[in-house]
Structure 1
Amino acid sequence: MPITRAKSIDALYEECKGFDLVLVPDAPMASALNRRLDRPHFGPFAITPRRLAAQRREQDEYRLSFLESIESTDLDWKEASHAVGNIHQCWEYQGTAESILEYELFRTAATRTVVNCVSESDTTLRRLTEYTIDADTSVAVVGLTQLTALERSILPPDYETIDPFADETFDYPPFRVFDSPAAIVDAVLDTVTQENADDVGVVLDAASQYSSLIESAFEAAGIPYHGGPGFDDLPHHRTFLQLLRSAHAGRETRISDVRPLLTRFGKSIDIEHDEKRLYDSDQQAANWLLELHDEVRTGTFSAALDAYESAADTVLDAFRDELSTLGLLTDPVTEEAVDRLEFYVQTYDIPVDHGNEGVLLADAKSAAHVDRPVVFYLGLDEGWTHSPPRRPWVDRDREFERNIQQFQLLLQNGIDQYYLVQDTAGGTPVTPCLYFEELFDETFERFSDLDSVPHSRAFRTTADGFAKEPLDIAAAEVTTISQSSLNTYVNSPRDYFFSRLLDTPDKDYFREGNLLHDFAEYYVAHPESVTDETLAEVAEIILDEVDPFLRGVDREVRHTKYRLGLQTIVEFLDTNPPHGDEFVAGNDGWGRNFFAEYYDRPIDTPHTERWFENSDLGLKGKIDLVHDSTHLLDYKSGSKKSAHSIVKHSALDPPSDKPNFQALLYLAHQRTVQPDQELQFTFFHFLETLDDIVAGEASLDDCLTTVTYYPHTFAEYVATEAVFNELKSEAANDCNKTFSKTEYEEYRAIFETHELPQTRDSDELIDSEFGHALTARMKENVGDYKYVKNGCKQALRHVLRIRNKNYFADDVDAFEQFVQERLEELNARRAGDERFPVGGLGGDPNYRYVDNRDCILEEESR
């Protein structure tokens, strides 16, 4: 069915003006009709049944009945609230408070208790139940189907009904599709000013992000509005509740948990402390908050409110009145009492005086009429769909019809309507409000499938001078890149971009890793100063430094981990001391060393923490240990990786889903200062053998992973006699047997007539021309035996295993070119030639390795 056109207020008034009394389903429509009265009228003219019966403004009857119940009964607050909600709802649909007792499932002692309580209270529901309209009053009802059974019960025997809909369809305006909620809010601000605010209405889902965004935008622009945030959404009210809750949060509370609270009080703590426990922080702001927590936790709600008002320099009279109403003002601030208070403010609409000037903000699920010339509709998504109560007294089909009629009326408010929507959010299509499925004949899944107009985000010039203006400033060029930045950039350029803008909190594994690295550097410089007692002391020092990040139950396990890790580092360095008096791969040591400062001993060694910056290659980094001029080592506190895994995840075309170029990058630099040399890079996973140490079975070899760089291309290296000898003695049995029966010259000759393919797939290599030529040559020289054919396959697989565990000159050449291409690309994006895409060269990023996930929208993958 199409959208049926709603009659204008002027047209409705013309039909209604001859009646003594006009009943309407909602207060905004009543007010609009009353504003059009053109003659004196005694008593109410247009009015809702509830206001007519109660002779007062409509109130939240659920809340008032709940307050009456907790004051008059001994029921638990949640139990009372549940009973009140069911009773009121059934009362609306069936006409009496006692009607709920007709349903066996709801015939409980708590329900009976609350029925007795609320049926005697002076509520609008009770007044509606008892009210009747004089029979001699001429009555018109606009939208009879929109009234509940209880509201219809006050009607006299004779009345006229007026249909709010005309006999024609409504040609709805196009959906204006924007990239984001912020862009939608910007579009509203392009139109609304302080001068025209009284002519504008905004309809939105009050529970959506649009509510807070539009309110913040209006406040920032100085545009008045009303109908905004509820009692619990007011900033000071929300912050006071956060203070009460955080005061009982316990010793595991992190700085990040209370950061919004501290910000509200104007206190700041650097983001690097976010992961630390509040109770173990040495920050002044943290100590201030802990003192406030003590004051709140040990006093009454009244005293807690006094403390908050003093700290925030404000007065919360409305909150104080509400605490008094609840009987909590003089109660101690226990965790249970805070639970009850939080439940209350989140469940009920507590009256808030918003005034009545400026833009009218209307909740899409509450109102059907917005009497403003210009109305913006924000979102129009599935959040606008009502969920009919699943109760036996509710006719769900009739409720759906009632809601869809209200939705049609809502869509047509004002002279000009603007439907502002998103097509996608987080990479997923936004589902339009489900009522559109009933109203439109066409098939659709998203707003762009309907009559729509795409809008790109506009940049506005405001009274404060905010505008997008070109700046004649050249972007600083990036000339070198570290392995960690390159890893991030290849996985997600957008994540790299945000990593340059945003600070990140320190983590326990960062802190412990740095301290263990510092000890390793200190030990290389001062091995004679370290004893068993020193190791025990160092383990305690590391534990104390990391402790603010840990749970209390983690301390003992971490202490064992640090002590054994330190022992492994000492054992390795004693067994494999670095040698050579000069390090030619970089300049001075990098940064401060915790233990050098703690023990007041300088670090003066050419082997540790060596920083390099190679502008020719565009590379920079810090090498943990230079074992000798051809052997570099990096300490790792994480899990051990195999050489095959290291090489695999440094792939270039395409990149791995877990890119890691550390070894390849450092070897690329090192070969420039040690040309034509075989180089090694070792990862020392000093925590890998903790379990084995406890069992007395540890081996240092189990901690080490080494990749080797050969100063030849892969094809040149495979053609060497050294590889031929491996095939004779170190490969699989048939391979050893085959190549032991031929000479190196026969093997070498194959490389002179056939090119070794650039593949890392063994089946592809075996089936290549080179693979066929090798097999044919061996058959000719050894014999056409089954083991020869199998031995050649084993030889080719062995050759690829060599490639997949090491680096060769052509690998490093390709990497150097890859780095130059990334730097050119990076600098072009920094200059504004294009945006930093979310996805890297390998497609969508691996989000496990994205640090700034909250800043990235998935749909912008390229």
Structure 2
Amino acid sequence: MSLTRAKSIDSLYEECKAFDLVLVPDAPMASALNRRLDHPHFGPFAITPRRLAARRREEAEDRLAFLELIRTTDLGWKETAYAVGNILQCWEYQGTADAVLDYEQFATAATRTAVDCIADMDTTSRRLTEYSIDAETSVAVVGFEQLTELERSVLPSDYETVDPFTEEPFDQPPFRIFDSPAAIVDVVLDTVTEENADDVAVVLDAASQYSSLVESAFEAAGVPYYGGPGFADDARHRAFLQLLRTAHAGRETRVGDVRPLLTQLGMAIDIEHDEKRLSDLDRPEVDWLLDFRDEIPSSTFAEAIDAYEAVTDTTTDAFRDELATLGLLDVTVTEPAVDRLEFYLQSYEVPVERENEGVLLADAKSAAHVDRAVVFYLGLDEGWTQSSPRRPWVDRDQEFERNIRQFQRLLQNGVDQYYLVQDTAGGSPVTPCLYFEELFDEEFDRFSDLDSLQHTRVSRPTQDGFDREPLDVPPEEATALSQSSLNTYVNSPRDYFFSRLVDNPDKEYFREGNLFHDFAEFYVSHLDVVTTDTLDEVADVMLEEVDPFLRGVDREVRLTKYRIGLRTIVEFLEANPPQGDGLATSDSGWGENFFAEYYDRPIDASHTERWFENTDLGVKGKIDLVHSPTRLLDYKSGSKKSAYSVVKHSAFDPPSDRPNFQALLYLAHQRTEHPDEQLQFTFFHFLETLDDVVTGDGSLDDCLTTVTYHPVSYEEYIASPAVFTELQEDAANDCNKTFSKSTYEVYQAVLDAHEFPDASDSDELVDSEFGEALTDRLVADVGDYKYVKNGCKQALRHLRRIRDRNYFAGDVDAFEQFVRERLSELNGRRAGDERFPVQGLGGDPNYRYVDNRDCILEGGSR
């Protein structure tokens, strides 16, 4: 099967012009035929059955029936809407007002009440039921299959049907595939101007993102259009409804939840406050909103809308009129009343006055005829598929056929048709409208499987008509990367790119972490100010600072967490005070310290919060604590990671799915200060023992994870007497027993005679030539015992653990080269050599660690 060619309006007019009356399924087709009348005609010529019977513009009778019922009956609003929908729909398909009562599950008391009321109303459906066309009138019906049973009831016994389709196939244009909705909208804007707007139509799914994108683009470009946003979409109306919602939302409402409302009210609040509770935001900009919330329980809707108009300096007469129609103006703004209002606006389309000029925006699920020369079809995806009503009075097969015929006609409007689509969205194929499965013989899953053309995004000139000359300004080169920037860049360069452009809100865990860090820095400098007796005061101060981010029920739990975290930090620093002279840098210190301001004491320690920028290596960062010249320490409020995990996730060939180069990057810098010394980097997870401390059992050692840098190669290190001693004393039992009965010379001889393999895991190492040689040599030296063979396996696994939990000279050398390559690559992309790709070095990014998720299409690589 393929698309059947629809007859042109001119062709349909030629077939119908001899008739007195032409009935058509939709009003746009009637208007198009009437515009082609070439002779005087008494009375209506082309018209829909509803317009013919009502002798007036068609009205949304479901809304009118709803309004009448809530005015004259005691039925609830949702109950009323449900009954009205069923009655009118059944009436449409079965032809009588009380037909719904023939279905037992719908013949409720509420439905009977609604039927009695609606049957007496002057509705279009009632006029259709009572109307009949004079038998002497010659009648043609275009698209008889598209008419419902109620619409057909007006027909005389004698009439002619006109098929709107020919027997020829329609030679449809190709699908034009673009990489984003924005690119599709750009194509439309390239064609449409203020001068030709009356010749263009855009067909789209009104519920899709294309609707708002096209409307915004036309408004920005000064292109007139109509058929766009409805009553409930008006920004003023949405804002007023959200204002009422916010007034009843309680203390847990976050700033980010009401940001659109704040914008509409002219209250400029920085994005950093989005995660905070609105009620705890100490900003004068929101005082009016907080006062409004306090006053709303005793206010009427009329008073609320007066206050809204005063603060926004706007008028909302249409909304006020609708509130009056609903009988809500003098009603108190309770939460149930707001619920009813919101339900009404979501359920019914309130009529609005429109100027019928400019580009016609047509909903793909409404009329099938668009009388414009140029028609753009946007999306054509599964959102275009209409859902047949799931009611017993609806023949779903017949309804599907009616919809698919309408769809075929819709696709053929205009002289020139342009099908603008996406092939993928969010990394997944876009499913074409399901009607295509019935219309096309070939199998397909996406638009690129069909007759299609790929398009790249076009570059549009500016709105003033002038092309901008590029500025000859060289991009600023990055000279150093922080560990967080490097982590982000390796995971997804696109995410790194957006992290430089997009501001993100302050987070609860950021604030907590910063306060703990500030306390640790302050404590090192002022041991005499903060004592174990004053830690409760410090915890209270922290809670006060973080409180705007918290739910009320979390306060006591957080206070306990803060007290234990602070005491753990104090306990560690008392037992392990910093050693040596610390680290002096050209820019010592790191900004402000909350507790330094709170206690009005300066920070002058050279051990804490040391900033470095090593442009020779291309790295920079902030060291929480220089514990000694060869030991750096970083405070962590998150869960503890093992040394194995730290080393694993700092791998870069290939990178981990959770890249984290902090320890490796800081040790690389520290190596430049102490090039031939063993160095350590310790993560102090000061909340790790939280549960244990609560139960009276906790150890500082459980909070610490240390990775060590050895200034030699791995092979050199494991050949040292110190490692042999580990095998005698610190390894597993059989290993200790075996190697205690041997000598370092035996162990060294095996290492000298056999190359240590680059095994990926311990099992591979055990099965290697080196593993066999070590076992044979120890068996010969100690004896052919089971514990000796097992002890050699344990020794090999111990050697592998050393590799997996430490850094060696070659690791840091390779990392320094890795950073140089990333900087060169990054600066090339900053210069415009290529786009920042979504995929990182390891392929698709780990989206759990992507900060700017809304800016990135999952699965995309461009």
- TM (normalized to structure 2)? 0.98
Question: Once structures 1 and 2 are overlaid, which stretch shifts more, 166-175 or 459-468?
Answer: 459-468
Q: Which residue of structure 2 lines up, in the alignment, with residue 63 of structure 1?
A: 63
The 5 Å alignment of 1:169-208 reads: 169-208=169-208
Is the CA contact 1:228–1:354 (under 8 Å) kept in the aligned structure 2? no
Greater Cα offset, 112-121 or 640-649: 640-649
Match of 2:312 in 1: 312
- Specify the alignment match of 1:747 in structure 2: 747
**Distance in 2, Cα, partners of 1:692 & 1:462:** 64
C-alpha deviation, 1:859, in angstroms: 2.9
Indicate yes or no: 2:802 matched with 1:798: no
In structure 2, how many angstroms separate the alpha carbons of the residues matched to 1:662 and 1:288? 46
Partner of 1:438: 438
- Deviation (angstroms), 1:296: 4.5
> In 2, distance between residues paired with 1:267 and 1:526?
42
CA distance in 2, matches of 1:818, 1:774: 35
Corresponding residue for residue 758 of structure 2? 758
Distance apart, 1:778 and its partner CA: 2.3
Structural mapping, 1:689-708, within 5 Å:
689-708=689-708
Give the counterpart letter for 1:643 in structure 2: A
Residue identity matched to 1:486: L
Pair 466,814 (structure 1): closer, same or farther in 2 beyond 3 Å: farther
Q: Is the 8 A contact 1:226 1:358 kept in 2?
A: yes
**More deviation, 524-533/669-678:** 524-533
Asked if the contact 1:838/1:860 (under 8 Å) is kept, the reply is yes
Mean alpha-carbon deviation: is it higher for 729-738 or for 403-412? 729-738
Return the alpha-carbon distance in structure 1 between the equivalents of residues 197 and 371 of structure 2: 13
Distance, in Å, in 1 between the alignment partners of 2:85 and 2:597 is: 66
* Distance in 1, Cα, partners of 2:454 & 2:583: 61
Q: Give 1:67-466 correspondences, 5 Å limit.
A: 67-464=67-464
**Deviations for 1:465-501, whole angstroms, at most 9, x for unmatched residues?**
5757543221111111111111111111111111111
User: One-letter code of the match for 1:506?
Assistant: D
Letter in structure 1 aligned against 2:452? S
The residue type equivalent to 1:207 in the other structure is A
Q: Which residue of 2 aligns with 1:777?
A: 777
Partners of 2:167 and 2:39 lie apart in 1 by 29
Which moved further from structure 2: 343-352 or 285-294?
A: 285-294
Question: Structure 1 residues 557 and 65 mapped into 2: Cα distance closer, same or farther (>3 Å)?
Answer: same
Deviations 1:209-266 (A, max 9, x none): 1111111111111111111111111111111111111111111010101111111222
Distance 1:509 1:467, change over 3 A: farther
Q: Residues 249-291 of structure 1: CA distance to partner in whole angstroms, max 9, x if unpaired?
A: 1110101011111112222111111100000001222223223
Which residues of 2 match residues 426-575 of structure 1 at below 5 A?
426-464=426-464, 469-575=469-575
Q: Is the 8 A contact 2:581 2:629 kept in 1?
A: no
**Code of the aligned partner of 2:69:** S
What residue number does 1:843 align with?
843
The one-character-per-residue Cα deviations of 1:748-773 (angstroms, maximum 9, x if unpaired) are 12222322223341122222232233
Deviation at 1:793, TM superposition (A): 1.6
Question: What are the Cα deviations for residues 637-680 of structure 1, in whole angstroms up to 9, with x where unaligned?
Answer: 11111111111111121111111111111111111111211111
| CA RMSD after TM alignment | 1.4
**What CA distance in whole angstroms lies between the structure 1 residues aligned with 2:73 and 2:556?**
51
What residue is the counterpart of 1:721 in the other structure?
A: 721
Shift of 1:354: 1.5
Partners of 2:776 and 2:475 in 1: CA distance: 60
Q: Deviations over 1:767-819 (max 9, x none)?
A: 22322332233233334444333222211100011111111111111111111
1:611, distance to aligned residue in structure 2 (A): 0.9
Structure-2 separation of matches of 1:473 and 1:296: 55
Q: What letter corresponds to residue 556 of structure 2 in structure 1?
A: E
The gaps in structure 2 that reach 5 residues or longer are none
4+ residue runs of structure 1 moved beyond 6 angstroms? Answer: none
Q: Assess, with a 3 A threshold, how the Cα gap between structure 1 residues 708 and 352 changes in structure 2: closer, same or farther.
A: same
What secondary structure sits across from 1:684 in the alignment? strand
Q: Which whole-Å CA distance do the structure 2 matches of 1:130 and 1:777 have between them? A: 107
- Partners of 2:146 and 2:402 within 8 A in 1: yes
> What is the Cα deviation at residue 742 of structure 1?
2.3
- Hey, what does 2:595 align to over in structure 1? 595
Q: 1:637 matched to which residue of 2?
A: 637
C-alpha displacement of 1:310: 1.8
SS of the residue corresponding to residue 588 of structure 2 reads: coil
In the alignment, is residue 651 of structure 1 matched against residue 651 of structure 2?
Answer: yes
Does the CA contact (< 8 Å) of 2:543 and 2:558 recur in 1?
A: yes
Contact conserved, 2:371 with 2:413, CA < 8 A, in 1?
yes
Aligned residues of 1:734 and 1:791 also touching (Cα < 8 A)? yes
1:586 Cα deviation from its structure 2 partner: 6.9
Q: Distance in 1 between matches of 2:48 and 2:582?
A: 92
Name the counterpart of 1:48. Answer: 48
The answer on whether the counterparts of 2:844 and 2:859 sit within 8 Å (CA) in structure 1 is no
One-letter identity of the residue aligned with 2:357: E
User: CA separation in 1, counterparts of 2:789 and 2:709?
Assistant: 31
Counterpart contact for 1:302–1:329, Cα < 8 Å: yes
Q: Is the 8 A contact 2:582 2:627 kept in 1?
A: no
Distance (whole Å) between structure 1 residues aligned to residue 465 and residue 267 of structure 2: 29
Residue type of the partner of 1:593? Answer: N
Percent of aligned pairs sharing the same letter: 75
Q: Which residue of 1 aligns with 2:811?
A: 811
Q: Alignment length, in residue pairs?
A: 862
Amino acid paired to 2:661: F
Query: Contact 2:177 / 2:453 at 8 angstroms: preserved in 1?
Result: yes
Secondary structure of 1:622's counterpart equals strand
Q: Is the 8 A contact 2:376 2:417 kept in 1?
A: yes
CA gap of 1:233–1:582, structure 2 versus 1, over 3 A, is closer
Provide, for residues 706-743 of structure 1, a one-character-per-residue CA deviation record: whole Å limited to 9, x for no partner.
11111111110000011111112222233223222322
In structure 2, distance between residues paired with 1:520 and 1:780:
56
Partners of 1:851 and 1:36 in 2: how far apart?
58
The answer on whether the counterparts of 1:459 and 1:468 sit within 8 Å (CA) in structure 2 is no
Work out the CA distance in 1 between the residues paired with 2:451 and 2:285. Answer: 54
Secondary structure of 1:97 counterpart: coil
* Partner Cα distance (2:295, 2:39) in 1: 62
Distance change (3 Å), C-alpha of 1:587 and 1:226:
closer
> Aligned partners of 1:335, 1:625: CA distance in 2, in Å?
53
Q: Residue type of the partner of 1:242?
A: Q
User: In structure 2, what is the Cα distance between the partners aligned to 1:731 and 1:534?
Assistant: 44
Give 5+ residue unaligned stretches, structure 1: none
Distance 1:348 1:24 in 2: 25
- Residue by residue over 1:48-74, the C-alpha shift from the partner in whole angstroms, topping out at 9 and shown as x without a partner, is 000010010011111111111111110
Aligned: 1:710 with 2:714: no
Q: Is the Cα–Cα contact under 8 Å of residues 516 and 566 in structure 1 kept in the other structure? A: yes
Amino acid at match of 1:31: S
In 2, Cα distance between equivalents of 1:456 and 1:625:
51
Separation (CA, whole Å) in 2 of partners of 1:114 and 1:453: 53
**SS of match in other structure, 1:481:** coil
Find the counterpart in structure 2 of residue 684 from structure 1. Answer: 684
Distance in 2 (CA, whole Å) between partners of 1:467 and 1:512 is 49
CA 210–636 in structure 1, closer or farther in 2 if over 3 Å, else same: same
Question: Following the alignment from structure 1 to structure 2, what is the Cα–Cα distance between the partners of residues 427 and 534?
Answer: 54
Change (3 A) 1:356 1:856: same
Contact 2:757 2:770 in 1 (8 A): yes
